[in-house]
Amino acid sequence: MAAEIDQRTRRGRRSAYAAFGVQGLSFAALVTRIPEIQKAHDLTDTTLALVLLAVPVVAGIGSVLAGGLMPRYGSGVVLRVAQPFVLLSIIAIGLAPGDLALYAATALFGLFVGAVDASMNTQAVTAETLYDKSLLTGFHAVWSAAGIVAGLWIALANKVDMSLSVGFAIPASLGIVVALWTGRGLYARQLETAGPSGEQLRAAAKRVPWKPIVIIGIAVTCMYIADSATSSYSAKYLKDDLNASGSVAPLAYVAYQICMMVSRAGADFVVRAHGAARVVAAGAVIGGLGLLMAAVAPGPAVAIAGFAVAGLGLAVVVPTSFSAAGRLDPTGLGIAVARVNVFNYVGFVLGAVIAGAVASNLWIAYAVGAALTLVILGSARGFAPAPVAGARPGTPVAERPVA
């Protein structure tokens, strides 16, 4: 029986890796082609900023909705339903015939991205619990690796002047196939009854403390302010401010994700050896230096190098935040993970506002991001919280892998 459980547990972990890969592929394919979307729809910088601002706002709603659905149905079910819709919405963005269709497709993208982010990170926390060791940064490394592939694909698409519809449809179609193929292996919510009652869910939510989550969330917000400006505007920054070509501009995001992948690939081992707090503190310092490099860069090469260094440091903040959230959740229902995930979108909203406000001088956005890494540094101790009473030493999750 133990061997069977081990096999099923490994299958759930592999399926969660696949979900992270699909999400990284879809997100990067979209954000690295923002300059081309702006050109195709003749959007002003102000309109583009509003569109990009709407995505994290709607994604926050999606994350909250997922937080309410996961305790009843399990994060695996939410993820299996939401992820294909993320990919379909990207195809719709590429096919959008006018501005209203673009706005509607973008809103759907944000809604389902929020649901996927919350549910896939709950899946990763489940795996970490079952394996009883740090695994979160490895999942996010897969996300970054897929983002690299997508960024290189978009650089090629731009070079050969590929249409938005074709450029988006190819990676999105691949993602749909992978999501549908691997979705059955995700961890499922297994209860002896039909599910917890509303009263039980409310009681469980009260057991999850807010104060330590807010401390972690502030650091996550600061990280995502910098990440939002990098993900959504780095290609525009290189192309418009530093005179990079259309094929070179997406490489800033690629470099950022390459270093994120490298950092996350080894961070689990470092966290096990030195603890999450020290790793986050070091990451804040390195990330701040990289963003400062990007802000003062005289040309594309230095900016790309700066974004690479930033990725190396900032990479550890988000996965360790979800791991810490798991230790604060004695219910095992994914409530703490969903709450931390909301701060993700608060950061993206603020990052979009800041970058949009200085769209003609984007270096300011990266200078602000560099300054905010000092807040992450000051919050680092919050990433090693004492487990809440009733919680396992690892991360309690009331989910088990499906057969």
Average pLDDT over residues 365-369: 93
Average pLDDT over residues 357-367: 87
Q: How far is CA 55 from the centre of its chain?
A: 13
Q: How far is CA 261 from the centre of its chain?
A: 13
Q: What is the pLDDT of residues 144-157, one digit of tens each?
A: 889 888 888 988 88
153 contacts 24 by C-beta, under 8 angstroms: no
Element holding 192 (H helix, E strand): none
Residue 71: partners with Cβ closer than 8 Å, 6 or more residues away: 189, 195, 196, 201, 204, 331, 333, 334, 335
Looking at 298-334, list the stretches that DSSP marks H as alpha helix, in order from N- to C-terminal side.
300-314, 317-327
Element holding 400 (H helix, E strand): strand 400-401
For residue 338, the tally of other CB atoms under 10 A from its CB is 29
The rounded distance, in Å, linking the Cα atoms of 336 and 178 is 28
pLDDT at 90 over 90: yes
The rounded distance, in Å, linking the Cα atoms of 352 and 78 is 27
Query: Any bridge partners for residue 188, and if so which?
Result: 400
pLDDT at 396 over 70: no
> Strands 187-188 and 400-401, how do they pair?
antiparallel
pTM: 0.73
* Angle ∠(379,345,354) on CA atoms, nearest 5: 85
Q: Which of 20, 372, 25, 35 is nearest to 232 (CA)?
A: 35
42 contacts 96 by C-beta, under 8 angstroms: no
pLDDT at 384 over 50: yes
209: left (phi over 0), alpha (psi -120 to 50) or beta: beta
pLDDT at 206 over 80: no
For residue 177, the tally of other CB atoms under 10 A from its CB is 13
48 contacts 34 by C-beta, under 8 angstroms: yes
144 contacts 323 by C-beta, under 8 angstroms: no
The rounded distance, in Å, linking the Cα atoms of 41 and 217 is 35
Q: What percent of the chain has a predicted confidence (pLDDT) above 70?
A: 87
Superfamily of domain 2-190+201-392 in the CATH hierarchy:
MFS general substrate transporter like domains (1.20.1250.20)
98-102, 358-362, 380-384: which is most confident:
98-102
Q: What is the pLDDT of residues 231-250, one digit of tens each?
A: 878 888 998 889 888 888 88
pLDDT band of residue 34 (cuts 50, 70, 90) is confident
Helix, strand counts (H, E) of the chain: 15, 2
- Alpha-carbon distances, residue 79 vs 87, 147, 382 (angstroms): 13, 19, 28
Q: Packing angle between helix 363-379 and helix 276-296, nearest 10 degrees?
A: 160
Q: Provide the mean pLDDT of the chain.
A: 83
Q: What is the pLDDT of residues 173-185, one digit of tens each?
A: 999 999 999 988 8
Q: What is the pLDDT of residues 287-333, one digit of tens each?
A: 999 999 999 999 999 999 999 999 999 989 988 888 887 777 666 66
Where are the domains positioned within the chain? 2-190+201-392
Q: Which of 267, 273, 286, 283 is nearest to 317 (CA)?
A: 283
Structure tokens at 166: 């074709």
The rounded distance, in Å, linking the Cα atoms of 285 and 280 is 9
Residues in the chain: 403
Structure tokens at 296: 């003062």
Q: Which of 209, 200, 225 is nearest to 324 (CA)?
A: 209
Q: Which of 87, 93, 114, 88 is nearest to 38 (CA)?
A: 93
